Structure 1
Amino acid sequence: MGDEERYIGVAERRARLALRHRLAGAARAASPEEVAGSLVALHGSDPATVYLAVGARLADPAGTVPETGRALYEDRTLVRMHGMRHTVFVFPTELTAVVHASTGLTVAARERAALLKAMAKAGAPDATWLKEVEESALAALARRGQATAAELAGDEPRLREQFVYAAGKSYQGVHTVSTRLLKVLGVEGKVVRGRPLGSWTSSQFRWAVSPAHPELNAAEAQASLLGRWLAACGPATEADLKWWTGWKVTDVRRALAAIGARLVSLDEGVGYVVDGDVGPVAGPAEPWAALLPALDPTAMGWQQRDWYLAPALRPALFDYSGNVGPTVWWNGRVVGAWAQRADGEIVWRLLDTEGVGREAEAAIAVEAERVRGWVGAARVTPRFRTPVEKELAA
């Protein structure tokens, strides 16, 4: 091991996580913007996850719903858009250009080509026709401010056109132009999700024209995004970085070199931190507990998770696609699961009791009451359900 490759063990990694992810009591944030800025990105595939992830990290979670809604839909300081791994996230608005250039452009080219290919196979109109529809739909959206796909189709009837996808295959289906086109425009950074049609738990969204942002150099944007994430989540391995970004390994390595990332030694092997972050980090003064939602960015932050989640817990806590369910944390590791029942009660179960005594159970109970207090009358069912969550909710 070289002199510069300091060993960072599990205890210190958990300490960094507690402070930088705003999970320890003294590290909690004052606003949704602070939470999103600290984590870089909040998972947005399940709309409720955004609010639950924010609420778990606010010093005063009472205003979680109105304040997060304000940031997303009034001040637009947070934006819901496609990002890494072709997944929907909520980002600080100042990161939209970085995410688009570093990640979105490559995915967007692939998505548009796939749509045109599928339409051609179905004998649907060509790229020129699609471009006309696109321009008309964007103009209608700009006039309206926000709109559903159905509302846009009222302005541009060609959005209602349908074509058969994968004809003759077992997965054959009928696609509507609006559904596929709006998805492509989202990945291309031309539209973003606006206000939901229902409450904060609704997965039905209006669309809005994307905020204007500069076009950045892709390599520079990748360096910027990776540096932000590594400052929040480092140390991390190359495998972690490749998984989180969804980039090619050559892109990851180029970005690491561009930011001057420093090597450290981890139990998994070689890891990286940003320059200036090699020194030791002291943990929080007090022990801490947290109830994090399904798809929480901390629970899903790394590909290699053994340092905070015992492998034996995975079958209960993850669905078949690798999506994590609601988790209970104690001092930097996952120790159980939680769920909300139909009557609103927040219930939890310990799955790993090593080192978890009465103090931990009392702290977890306090967190459960915190969640129930601000969630109020809302009922939250994760979009991707896991075995233990289903059992607890029942």
Structure 2
Amino acid sequence: MARAEPNATQERELGIIESALLWNWLLSRQGLAASTRFSSVVDISNATLGLHAARLPSPYTTVVARGKPPHLATHLFAADTRAHLITVRCMRKTLHTLPLKLATAAHAATRHFRERDAQRAITRAGQDMSTISATIEAITTMLGDDNLHHRTIETRLASPHRPVMVIRLALKLAWERGILTYINDTACWNKEHRTFAVTAHRYPELDTTVDRHTATRELITTYFDRYGPATINDAMWWSGLSRTAVLTAMHEASDEWIRLHTPWSTSPAYMSQSRWEEFADDPHTDTGRTGLNFLAHEDVAFKAYYETRSRYLGSLPAGQAFNQIGEVLPTIVWDGHVVGTWSWQPDKTVTYSLTGQTTPHQRNTIADHATTITDALRLGWSSTPHRLTDAQLTLL
């Protein structure tokens, strides 16, 4: 029997104005208002429940949008920041860069999908698990406290009895299980040098023993804390988890729920009662403005929703903000609504295109901010000749 939606202590009908106020309040909590910018990359990743990292520029531009000042994003490459953030494949089998505590839940709650895929690849290749396990042990022994490029690992371990294919299958399974961790050890946002290290050595504080059930409850509770109000379908879309998994987590959460009916969807949306009370008591809520933001490709603020995308699209067709494969484009957002898109050009400048009606003041502000974003992106750009391939732009 299908699991019922969670009980709610309150049920409210929100009109267009109050929904917009709530949406902008949520964005401001993520650092997307001039008065709420963050001064720490780790704090930004915590507030957003990770930085979407499937495309190389995304983590950097996500931090640029929320950092104070924008060039805070260069701290992504600092050793102290990297000690507290880890990049893992998790929600929807996609790379996210998260603080260690959040990474524990995100990885464990979604590991079964990726581990299953890795094991299927091993079976299709006609390999047995004992061979793969022995290869994983050889990899971890060789790595020790070091991190090495996967080609280096293959070269050092390959032999007539251990072909490169087996090493690659072992690397994949070890990564998905959390035995190995991925590290991009470049100091810029436009290049990747993909290396692997032993997770327990590089991140001794990361708990890889959390069970799936506990992790799912923690992940879904945190999702609604960061992104509520959201519908059940929103949570399923964002996490890649089943409806049953999402509902079970909500039923077991320690928070009490508020059920909201918004103009964004016919389905009810949920948020915790504590967050609703925080919104209701905030003296600045009635301003309802977050102003101008240039958001990243696949920015987490938009990637968190599917059923309620009208909260930021309004009457715009999805094609104005999404590409043909469903990825969120780099968008220009004013008070929480998409007003255009932007892109980084080969001459190291930001160009943009506006999609809706804007005032002269808005257009002037957008033009000025494009210059600010250009300067911030140039700071994290390496001018060394290097061609970005699809494999480097998209980490699978």
TM-score (norm 1): 0.84
- The one-letter code of the counterpart of 1:88 is L
Number of the residue aligned with 1:27: 36
Seen in structure 2, the aligned counterparts of structure 1 residues 99 and 264 have a Cα distance that, compared at 3 Å, is: same
**Is 1:95 aligned to residue 105 of structure 2?**
no
1:31 shift after superposition: 1.1
How far the C-alpha of 1:7 sits from its partner, in A, is 2.7
> Are 2:122 and 1:133 equivalent residues in the alignment?
no
Deviation per CA, 1:178-202, whole angstroms, max 9, x where unpaired? 4443232222112222134573222
Of 61, 65, 82, which aligns to 2:70? Answer: 61
3-state SS, counterpart of residue 114 of structure 1:
helix
**Pick aligned residue for 1:39 from 36, 43, 48:** 48
**Superposition CA RMSD, Å:** 2.6
CA deviation profile, 1:189-227 (whole Å, cap 9, x unmatched): 122221345732224411122224331232222121112
- Cα offset for 1:10? 3.1
Report if aligned partners of 2:27, 2:290 keep a CA contact under 8 Å in 1.
no
Which residue of structure 2 lines up, in the alignment, with residue 70 of structure 1?
A: 78
- Which of 171, 175, 191 is the aligned partner of 1:182? 171
Between 252-261 and 271-280, report the one with greater CA deviation. 271-280
Q: State whether residues 28 and 57 of structure 1, in contact with CA within 8 Å, keep that contact through their aligned partners in structure 2.
A: yes
- Identity, in percent, stands at 20
Q: Give, in whole Å, the separation in 2 of the partners of 1:152 and 1:89.
A: 24
**3-state DSSP class of the match of 2:268?**
strand
Cross-structure match for 2:86:
79
Question: Pairwise mapping of residues 11-26 of structure 1 onto structure 2 (< 5 A)?
Answer: 11-26=20-35
Residues 91, 367 of structure 1: CA spacing in aligned structure 2 closer, same or farther, 3 A cutoff?
Answer: same
Rounded to whole Å, the distance in 2 between the matches of 1:155 and 1:283 is 62
Q: Hey, what does 2:352 align to over in structure 1?
A: 348
Contact kept? 1:15, 1:284, Cα under 8 Å: no
Greater shift after overlay, 152-161 or 232-241? 152-161
1:240 is aligned to 2:234: yes
Distance 1:180 1:318 in 2: 33
Separation in 2 of the partners of 1:108 and 1:57?
A: 31
Residue 194 of structure 1 aligns to a residue whose secondary structure is strand
In structure 2, how many angstroms separate the alpha carbons of the residues matched to 1:129 and 1:194? 25
Cα pair 1:149 1:178 within 8 Å, conserved? no
Distance 2:388 2:288 in 1: 33
> Equivalent residue of 1:182, what SS?
helix
CA contact (8 A) 1:261 1:274 kept: yes
Matched, 1:119 2:125: yes
Give the drift of 1:315: 2.0
302 and 160 in structure 1: CA distance in 2 versus 1, 3 angstrom threshold? farther
TM-score for the superposition, normalised by structure 2: 0.83
| 1:144-198 Cα shifts (integer Å, max 9, x gaps) | x111011112331159725xxxxxxxxxxxxx34444323222211222213457
* SS of residue matched to 1:347: strand
Quote the Cα distance in structure 2 between the aligned partners of 1:112 and 1:376.
38
Partner of 1:223: 217
Matches within 5 A, 1:1-394: 4-8=10-14, 9-65=18-74, 67-70=75-78, 75-104=82-111, 106-120=112-126, 125-143=127-145, 145-158=146-159, 161=163, 176-196=165-185, 199-210=188-199, 211-212=203-204, 213-214=206-207, 215-259=209-253, 260-267=256-263, 268=265, 269-279=267-277, 280=280, 282=285, 287-304=290-307, 305-310=309-314, 312-353=316-357, 356-376=358-378, 378=381
Matched-pair contact (CA < 8 Å) for 1:153–1:160:
no
> Distance in 2 between the 1:315 and 1:264 partners?
28
Aligned equivalents of 1:330 and 1:146: distance in 2?
Answer: 42
For these two proteins, the number of residue pairs brought into alignment is 360
Gaps spanning 5+ residues in structure 2: where? 1-7, 391-396
Give distance in 2, aligned partners of 1:261 and 1:287: 26
| Gap runs ≥5 in structure 1 | 163-175, 385-394
Deviations 1:325-353 (CA, angstroms, capped at 9, x unpaired): 11010111111001122222211111011
Distance 1:249 1:4, change over 3 A: same
Bigger RCO (CA 8 Å, 6+ sep): 2
